[in-house]
Amino acid sequence: MATIKDVAKDAGVSLGTVSKVINGIHVSDEYRQRVEASIKKLHYQLNPNAHGLKAQQTNDILVIVPTLQNALFPPMIDTIEKELNKRGKRMLICISRNDSSKIDSYISMAANSRVDGIFGVTYSKIVDPERLNIPMVAFDRHFGGKIPCISCDNEAGGYLAAKTLYEKGCRNILCFWAGTDYESEPTKRIAGFNRFCSEKGVNHNVLSFMDYNMADTGFMYPSKSYKKLIHSYLTPSDGDQKFAYDGIFASSDHLAHLICDELRKMGLSVPKDVQVIGFDGMPDFITGEPIVSSIRQPIDKIAKTGIEMLLKMIKGQEVSSVTDLPVTFVDGGTTL
């Protein structure tokens, strides 16, 4: 039976080139065609399960995301795939829909050495760091143990949102927060928001509801109950009362968009009467424009840095959490 060495010799290329072709890594068309011709000619058969034996590596990385139907994750995964493909790694995806038992099942699979590492975006209480025997990097989450966190500088993001609203003339600012009920990176946005407002002595308030977490809806289209909640929180209890805020910082673009809708229904103009800033700053797929004014996460850099961290860990190197990737303000028409 022909070996990989026979193929390399016949094709007149290095072993590495044959390995690249077999593993789906890009080589020149000419080289690829030569290797494929030799594989065909020599009836070379790769044992599909044997080629990873030597290194005890699968070259597969598992990416866990709650959904693809949210503007934040498709560009993140696009970059992750590009980074992995460059290095000859393959990307497996678990779309969790925040189903803890599904995530648990995938982690069992991973823990049984069926992938080399995990890049995880999860908003449920699931991972037991003790249980995980392969490297994992978490987006926006501090699991403890040996799982580093990758995220933007969320504290600076909250600060920048408050500062931007203030500089654009807002003097009564609301932070409207729909988050998770555990301490996570994103909650630092509230701290940053509060820090700016305290420094400047700006009139501010934080309205936080954790029970209507977007994560529960899988970050999908707003449910009717979610819209109702926004309505009940924003409507002044006395019908004739003036709306108390001229600036709102929302915990996501999705939420900011719903808030703008509600304000307009209340007869208020956005941004003339009330300015609104969201968080994430991803462009809309269709228009290419930001959906609302927003604090933009450097999603490419997050993905790239996260994958670099994960690959270092797979090589046995130590890494630290990186939570200071810089954010920027983007004007999406909901600020003056």
Nearest distance from residue 117's CB to a copy of itself, in Å?
Answer: 13
Work out whether 25 is an interface residue with a copy of itself (CB under 8 A): yes
Work out whether 222 is an interface residue with a copy of itself (CB under 8 A): yes
Work out whether 43 is an interface residue with a copy of itself (CB under 8 A): no
Nearest distance from residue 239's CB to a copy of itself, in Å?
Answer: 28
3-state helix, strand, coil in the chain (%, to 5): 40, 20, 45
Work out whether 113 is an interface residue with a copy of itself (CB under 8 A): yes
- Three-class secondary structure of residue 25 per DSSP: coil
- Three-class secondary structure of residue 218 per DSSP: coil
Work out whether 298 is an interface residue with a copy of itself (CB under 8 A): no
What is the x/- site pattern for a copy of itself, positions 231-270, by CB under 8 A?
----------------------xx--x-------------
**Residue 139 contacts residue 323 (beta carbons within 8 Å):** no
Work out the burial of residue 235: count CB atoms within 10 Å of its CB; fewer than 13 is exposed, 13-18 middle, 19 or more buried. Answer: middle
Taking the alpha carbons at both ends of the chain, their separation in whole angstroms is 72
Nearest distance from residue 205's CB to a copy of itself, in Å?
Answer: 25
| CA–CA distance, 246 with 231 (Å, rounded to integer) | 17
Tokens of 223: 């449910």
How many Cα atoms within 13 Å fall on the side-chain side of residue 167? 9
Largest Cα separation within the chain, whole Å, is 86
Nearest distance from residue 22's CB to a copy of itself, in Å?
Answer: 5
| CA–CA distance, 124 with 284 (Å, rounded to integer) | 27
Selected binder of a copy of itself within 48, 239, 267, 316 (CB under 8 A): 48
Nearer to a copy of itself, 67 or 154 (CB): 67
Work out whether 110 is an interface residue with a copy of itself (CB under 8 A): yes
Work out whether 85 is an interface residue with a copy of itself (CB under 8 A): yes
Work out whether 10 is an interface residue with a copy of itself (CB under 8 A): no
Q: Write the DSSP assignment of 139-177 as a string of letters.
A: ES----TT--EEEE-HHHHHHHHHHHHHHTT--EEEEEE
CB < 8 Å & 24+ apart, contacts of 238-242 = none
Nearest distance from residue 21's CB to a copy of itself, in Å?
Answer: 5
Nearer to a copy of itself, 100 or 205 (CB): 100
Nearer to a copy of itself, 218 or 319 (CB): 218
Nearer to a copy of itself, 64 or 162 (CB): 64
Q: Which residues bind a copy of itself (CB under 8 A)?
A: 21-27, 29, 32, 36, 39, 45-53, 56, 58, 60, 67-71, 73-75, 77-78, 81-82, 85, 90-95, 101-102, 104-106, 108-110, 112-114, 131, 220-222, 253-254, 257, 283-288, 291
